């Protein structure tokens, strides 16, 4: 028993209990005569039954029912497309699992050579609420399918034609579009992407006027399109999506049938820009011609002025308006007698550029003129060189002066040309070095041979350094050079290096000065200063030692006299001798001390300054000599309110006040009680101390010059040594102050001391 | 009254005057003299060797200008070798020197207390007594 029979048996056995056999047989008959191929698949998808129609169909392809039945559905359909096969398998499975009430698909017959299309319908067979199997039904739909495909092909063909047309439109670089009666875009080609920056879809339905640059709206309203006539070369500006403007040149036509405008717009921005550039360029040329510092004008072949720039107006005093279209020789009749006439004619007739310098025919100017022949006529540049002419004249005068100076100077002026290694000398050279040498030394080597061998190495170093550094243009050197008589002169040589653009020296101009005597004097002076300093130091040392040697025995004498004080002396003569001895010793001691004070003051100018209370210092001094001051019945008035402090050296101030006070006591008038008046005042940059008394005074007419001198005495009074005022003056001046005196004989004296602050 | 004074001066007359003034003023019990710096150092050496005695000059009068060894050289050596041993030593420079730099220089030594001029009188010594009693 083959497989199919067995399956049918199984099927029949399973259904026998439920279905009357007659009914079953009738059903089979119907099934076998239906024009559709019908089969049954079990729940595993095995085809367990196929009707006669199916059997008949496959027999056309030499396949038997036995070969068909028991294959798995839908594998037996042999669907070529994998995706479709998957989809179909899933659909069938869903029906068998009751997830789908029905599933249909289309399939191409795998056996037939011709295209045979079937529609497959799979639906479940339900018994007792469960699926026991499914029916599959294949209906031939080849005719319908073929018609469908034909329609599709026809449609595709039409689309291709449309696409190609659009392609052609899109290929166009020009903007091709149509508007409806309201002026809305209906169709736009893709050129709008490049020209306007919009996608075609963005423009459709938009009123074109929205796209036009506002300033051009008026122009748009005026434009009329006449029916039947093309509008050509209409220009306007559109606003691109990015806001920039684009110049478009339009051709448009109204189509009555479609009731549409058909337009082609060409982007002419590039042309526009070129035009604008040309305008700008022309303006620039004009500006340049006007701004060139030369006067510039052109004349045509008939000498008629065709161009006249601003500078030409200035130089000639003739405005452009007055000059244009006039004959140059009629404008400047004077010029016909000058170089202008002959030179311009030569330029035109010989067709060569001419260049000359000539006075202006109308103004007091010097002009530097260049004229170039051209096809149109002549282009003339004329430059005002009056200033340069004047400068040249000044240079000439300066040169003359220089010549005169070099003739009279004692310096040797020289001029060295680097390229030719040639030296030329001014007049001073012969005078300085001897007249033979000027002829002998004509180049650098000859001069170097004259330099003292000891000075040569560093002279050469310094010279080479100055020479090689491009930024150095001056040099100076002191050295010895041999004169024609063989002796050496010490000279100061100064030079100025002239360099070319690359910094290479081309020429050196300089002067040599004989400083031999100057140097000698300098050396003598230095020697003298050295000797004097030496002598001064030695003298100072000598003075210190001498005064020391004086003072040691003198101190002993004082010491011995001091010891004698308490020893009673009975011999009156001895007492007198000892008293004389004491006085002399004391006087000698005081003198030596004064001299030492002078020495200290002169030898040490740098004393320590400090802020001092004048009153405090004065009181100290007063107490030192109080006895002698009080003996003289002195009345002292002291007023330091205006300037109580002074910036000075303490010991000097003590010494000064002591000397002034003792002087007042020493040179007091015996006819009246001594009165001393001390006041201070501030003068802004200094403090003044006024010290006056009512003493015997001095005859300043006689003594003023000697008053502050060393060992100058004007009165025969005890203890008058002529040292005090000398010391006072020395001490004040050592610290930058000054002292002045006013005095009248038998009236009194006033010293004014000025301390710097 | 202080126990001992050392007077260093090459001038024998000055030494004599000092001795006389000292006794008149009743200034020091004992006056030691030295004619130059070296002799003074020799004396200090002797003092240092004699262990136990703490009697040494608390006051030294020193002249600057002396043969063999001057005042400064003595000061240098003394400060270096003996000052630590004899810390109560006070030095007064007595000099006829008029060179101002001498005063500056003398002040740089820690033991130097003053710079005085000759002659040394009875009055000066008398005035010194209460000053010296102070620590």
CATH number at residue A483: 3.30.450.20
Does residue A530 fall inside a structural domain? no
What is the signed CA dihedral for A581, A587, A588, A592, rounded to 10 degrees?
160
**pLDDT number for residue A15:** 45
Please count the other Cβ atoms lying within 10 Å of the Cβ belonging to residue A168: 11
Residue in chain A nearest B63 by alpha carbon:
A552
Which residues, in sequence order, are CB contacts of A251 under 8 Å at separation 6+? A230, A231, A232, A233, A234, A263, A264
pLDDT for A22 equals: 55
Q: What pLDDT does residue B99 have? A: 62
**Domain end marker among A323, A355, A389:** A389
Whether residues A382 and A415 share a domain: the answer is: no
In a domain, A613, yes or no: yes
Q: Which residues does chain B have within 8 Å of residue A539's beta carbon, measured at their own beta carbons?
A: none
Q: State residue A660's pLDDT score.
A: 92
Predicted structure pTM score:
0.37
DSSP A138-156: EEE-HHHHHHHHHHHHHHH
Q: Do B122 and A562 touch (CB under 8 A)?
A: yes
User: In this structure, is residue A156 part of a structural domain?
Assistant: no
- Measure CA of the first residue to CA of the last residue in chain B; give whole Å: 14
Domain edge (last residue) among A209, A238, A273: A273
Predicted local distance difference test score (pLDDT) of residue A687: 93
Contact A459, A484 (CB under 8 A): no
- Note the pLDDT of residue A129: 81
B37 in Cβ contact with B74 (< 8 Å): yes
Work out how many domains chain A is built from and give that number. Answer: 5
Look-up of token digits 């001056």: A474
Q: Is the pLDDT of residue A611 over 80?
A: yes
* Tens digit of each residue's pLDDT (9 = 90 or more) over A26-47: 777 777 877 888 888 888 888 8
Q: Answer whether residue A2 shows pLDDT above 80.
A: no
Contact B13 A599 (CB under 8 A): no
Domain boundaries, chain B: 2-130
A467 with A378, same domain: the answer is no
**Residues A202-223: tens digit of each pLDDT:** 888 888 888 888 888 888 777 7
Q: Residue A645 domain-assigned?
A: yes
CA A243/CA B3 separation, integer angstroms: 119
Q: Which of B11, B99, B103, B104 to mutate to test the interface with A (most CBs of A within 10 A)?
A: B99
| A51-60, A161-170, A222-231, A444-453: least confident range | A222-231
Q: Comparing A550 with A748, which gets the higher pLDDT?
A: A748
Q: How far is CA A231 from CA A71, A180, A208, in A?
A: 77, 17, 17
Residue A494 main-chain phi, psi, to 5 deg: -125, 140
Is A113 found in the same domain as A17? Answer: yes
Per-residue pLDDT at A406: 65
Report CB contact under 8 Å: B100, A600. Answer: yes
User: Does residue A377 contact residue A383 with C-beta atoms inside 8 Å?
Assistant: no
A409-462, pLDDT tens digit by residue?
A: 677 888 888 888 888 877 677 777 876 777 777 888 888 888 899 988 888 888
* CATH number belonging to domain B2-130: 3.40.50.2300
pLDDT band at B37 (very low <50, low <70, confident <90, very high): very high
> If you average pLDDT over each of A9-23, A54-68, A575-589, which comes out highest?
A575-589
The answer on A240 and A340 residing in a single domain is: no
> Which of A547, A549, A556, A607 would you mutate first to test chain B, the one with the most B CBs within 10 A?
A556
Answer with the residue of higher pLDDT: A288 or A254. A254
Contact B118 A552 (CB under 8 A): yes
- What's the rounded Cα separation, in Å, for the pair A500 and A502? 5
Burial class (CB in 10 A: 0-12, 13-18, 19+), A492: middle
Cβ-proximal residues to A673 (8 Å cutoff; 6+ apart), any chain: A632, A633, A634, A635
Residue A1 has pLDDT above 50, yes or no: no
Model confidence pLDDT, tens digit, residues A628-652: 888 888 899 999 899 999 998 888 8
Confidence of residue A227 (pLDDT cuts 50, 70, 90): low
Complex ipTM above 0.90? Answer: no
CB contact B81 to A (< 8 Å):
no
Q: Smallest Cβ distance to A596: which of B17, B98, B119?
A: B98
* Same-domain check for residues A21 and A112: yes
User: Distance between CA A497 and CA A469 in Å, rounded?
Assistant: 11
| Contact status of B21 with chain A (Cβ, < 8 Å) | yes
Give yes or no: residues A265 and A311 share one domain: no
Q: Per the domain annotation, does A522 fall within a domain? A: no
| Same domain assignment for residues A297 and A265 | no
Residues whose CB falls within 8 Å of the CB of residue A644, separated by 6 or more in sequence, listed in order: A613, A614, A615, A680
Q: What is the pLDDT of residue A721?
A: 67
pLDDT of residue A440: 78
Six-digit token pair at B10? 């090459």
CATH number of the structural domain spanning residue A672: 3.30.565.10
Q: What is the pLDDT of residue A719?
A: 66
**For testing contact with chain B, the best of A542, A549, A559 (most B CBs within 10 A):** A559
Task: Give the confidence band of B19 by pLDDT, cuts at 50, 70, 90.
Answer: very high
- Tell me which residue has tokens 């040392």: A541
A contacts of B98 (beta carbons < 8 Å): 544, 547-548, 551, 596, 599-600
- What does pLDDT average to over chain B? 85
Q: Do B119 and A596 touch (CB under 8 A)?
A: no
* Candidate ranges A64-73, A350-359, A495-504, A532-541; pick with highest mean pLDDT: A350-359
Nearest to B118 among A549, A555, A566 (CB): A555
Verify that A130 and A186 share a domain, yes or no: no
Tens digits of residue pLDDT in A79-136: 888 888 889 888 888 888 888 888 989 888 887 777 788 888 888 888 888 888 888 8
Contact A563 B17 (CB under 8 A): yes
Whether residues B98 and A548 touch (CB distance < 8 A) is answered with yes
Q: Which domain does A722 fall in, by range?
A: 605-756
Q: Which of A97-111, A332-346, A603-617 has the lowest mean pLDDT?
A: A603-617
What the block records as the tokens of A223 is 């434009």
Count of CB pairs separated by less than 8 Å, A with B:
63
Q: Are residues A416 and A355 in the same domain?
A: no
- pLDDT tens profile B79-127: 998 888 888 889 999 876 656 667 778 778 888 888 888 888 888 898 8
Asked if B17 lies within 8 A of A600 by C-beta distance, the reply is no
Taking residues A575-584, report their average pLDDT: 87
CB-based contact A479:A490 (threshold 8 Å): yes
Rounded to a whole number of angstroms, the distance from the CA of A556 to the nearest CA of chain B is 6
Residue-wise pLDDT for A473-483, tens only, equals 888 888 898 88
Is B11 in CB contact (< 8 Å) with chain A? yes
Report d(CA A151, CA A145) in Å as an integer. Answer: 10
* Chain A residues close to B14, C-beta within 8 Å: 552, 555-556, 559
Among A101-115, A187-201, A585-599, the minimum mean pLDDT is found in: A585-599
Q: Are residues A616 and A693 in the same domain?
A: yes
Judged by CB atoms closer than 8 Å, whether chains meet at A556 and B13 is answered as yes
Same domain for A98 and A195, yes or no, is no
User: A604–B20: do the CB atoms touch at under 8 Å?
Assistant: no
Q: Do A556 and B21 touch (CB under 8 A)?
A: no
Residues A612 and A728 in one domain: yes
């Amino acid at each position: 028993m083959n497989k199919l029979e067995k399956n049918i048996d199984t099927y029949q056995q399973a259904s026998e209990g439920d279905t009357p056999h007659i009914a079953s047989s009738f059903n089979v008959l119907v099934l076998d005569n239906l024009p559709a191929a019908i089969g049954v698949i079990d729940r595993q998808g095995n085809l367990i039954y196929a009707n006669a129609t199916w059997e008949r169909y496959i027999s056309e392809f030499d396949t038997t029912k036995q070969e068909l039945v028991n294959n798995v559905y839908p594998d037996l359909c042999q669907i070529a497309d994998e995706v479709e096969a998957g989809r179909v398998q899933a659909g069938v499975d869903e029906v068998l699992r009751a997830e789908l009430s029905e599933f249909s698909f289309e399939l191409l017959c795998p056996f037939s050579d011709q295209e045979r299309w079937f529609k497959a319908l799979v639906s479940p067979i339900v018994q007792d609420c469960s699926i026991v199997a499914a029916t599959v039904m294949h209906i031939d739909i080849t005719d319908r399918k073929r018609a469908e495909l034909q329609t599709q092909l026809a449609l595709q063909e039409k689309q291709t034609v449309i696409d190609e047309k659009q392609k052609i439109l899109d290929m166009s670089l020009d903007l091709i579009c149509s508007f409806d009666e309201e002026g809305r875009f209906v169709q736009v080609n893709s050129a709008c992407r490049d020209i306007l920056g919009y996608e075609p879809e963005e423009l459709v339905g938009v009123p074109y006027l929205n796209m036009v640059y506002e300033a051009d709206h008026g122009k748009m309203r005026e434009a009329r399109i006449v029916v039947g006539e093309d509008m050509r070369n209409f220009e306007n500006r559109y606003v691109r999506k990015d806001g920039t403007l684009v110049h478009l040149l339009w051709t448009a036509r109204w189509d009555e049938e479609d009731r549409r405008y058909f337009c082609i717009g060409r982007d002419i921005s590039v042309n526009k820009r070129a035009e604008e550039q040309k305008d700008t360029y022309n303006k620039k040329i004009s500006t340049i011609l006007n701004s060139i510092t030369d006067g510039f004008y052109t004349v045509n072949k008939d000498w008629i002025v065709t161009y006249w720039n601003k500078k030409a107006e200035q130089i000639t005093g003739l405005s452009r308006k007055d000059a244009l279209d006039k004959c140059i020789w009629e404008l400047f009749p004077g010029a016909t007698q000058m170089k202008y006439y002959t030179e311009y004619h030569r330029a035109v007739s010989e067709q060569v550029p001419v260049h000359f310098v000539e006075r202006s025919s109308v103004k007091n100017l010097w002009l530097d003129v260049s004229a170039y022949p051209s096809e149109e006529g002549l282009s003339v540049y004329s430059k005002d060189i009056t200033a340069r002419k004047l400068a040249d004249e000044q240079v000439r005068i300066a040169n003359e002066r220089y010549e005169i100076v070099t003739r009279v100077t004692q310096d040797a002026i020289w001029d060295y040309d680097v390229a030719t290694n040639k030296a030329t000398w001014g007049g001073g050279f012969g005078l300085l070095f001897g007249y033979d040498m000027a002829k002998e030394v004509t180049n650098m080597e000859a001069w170097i041979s004259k330099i003292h061998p000891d000075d040569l190495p560093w002279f050469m170093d310094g010279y080479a350094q100055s020479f090689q550094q491009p930024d150095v243009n001056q040099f100076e050197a002191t050295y010895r050079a041999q004169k024609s008589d063989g002796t050496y002169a010490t000279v100061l040589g100064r030079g100025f290096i002239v360099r070319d653009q690359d910094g290479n020296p081309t020429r050196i101009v300089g002067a040599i000065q004989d400083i031999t005597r100057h140097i000698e004097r300098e050396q003598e002076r230095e020697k003298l200063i050295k000797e004097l300093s030496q002598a001064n130091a030695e003298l100072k040392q000598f003075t210190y030692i001498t005064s020391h040697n004086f003072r040691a025995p003198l101190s002993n004498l004082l010491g011995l006299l001091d010891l004698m004080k308490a020893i009673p002396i009975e011999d009156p003569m001895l007492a007198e001798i000892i008293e004389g001895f004491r006085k002399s010793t004391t006087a000698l001691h005081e003198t030596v001390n004064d001299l030492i004070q002078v020495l200290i003051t002169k030898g040490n100018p740098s004393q320590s300054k400090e802020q001092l209370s004048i009153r405090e210092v004065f009181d100290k001094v007063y107490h030192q000599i109080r006895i002698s001051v009080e003996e003289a019945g002195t009345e002292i008035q002291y007023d330091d309110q205006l300037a109580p402090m002074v910036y000075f050296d303490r010991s000097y101030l003590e010494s000064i006040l002591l000397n002034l006070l003792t002087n007042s006591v020493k040179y007091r008038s015996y006819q009246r009680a001594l009165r001393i008046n001390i006041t201070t005042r501030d003068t802004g940059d200094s403090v003044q101390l006024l010290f006056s008394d009512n003493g015997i005074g001095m005859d300043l007419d006689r003594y003023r010059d000697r008053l502050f001198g060393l060992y100058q005495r004007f009165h025969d009074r005890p203890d008058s040594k002529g040292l005090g005022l000398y010391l006072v003056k020395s001490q004040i001046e050592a610290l930058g102050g000054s002292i002045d005196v006013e005095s009248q004989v038998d009236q009194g004296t006033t010293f004014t001391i000025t301390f710097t602050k | 009254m202080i126990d001992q004074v050392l007077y260093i001066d090459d001038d024998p007359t000055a030494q004599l005057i000092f001795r006389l003034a000292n006794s008149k003023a009743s200034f020091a019990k004992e006056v030691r003299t030295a004619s130059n710096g070296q002799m003074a150092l020799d004396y200090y050496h002797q003092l240092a060797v004699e262990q136990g005695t703490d009697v040494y000059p608390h006051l030294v009068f020193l002249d600057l200008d002396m043969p063999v060894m001057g005042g400064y050289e003595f000061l240098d050596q003394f400060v270096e070798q003996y000052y630590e041993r004899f810390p109560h030593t006070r030095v007064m420079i007595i000099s006829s020197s008029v060179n101002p730099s001498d005063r500056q220089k003398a002040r740089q030594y820690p033991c130097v207390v003053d710079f005085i001029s000759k002659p040394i009188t009875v009055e000066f010594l008398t005035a010194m007594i209460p000053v010296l009693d102070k620590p």
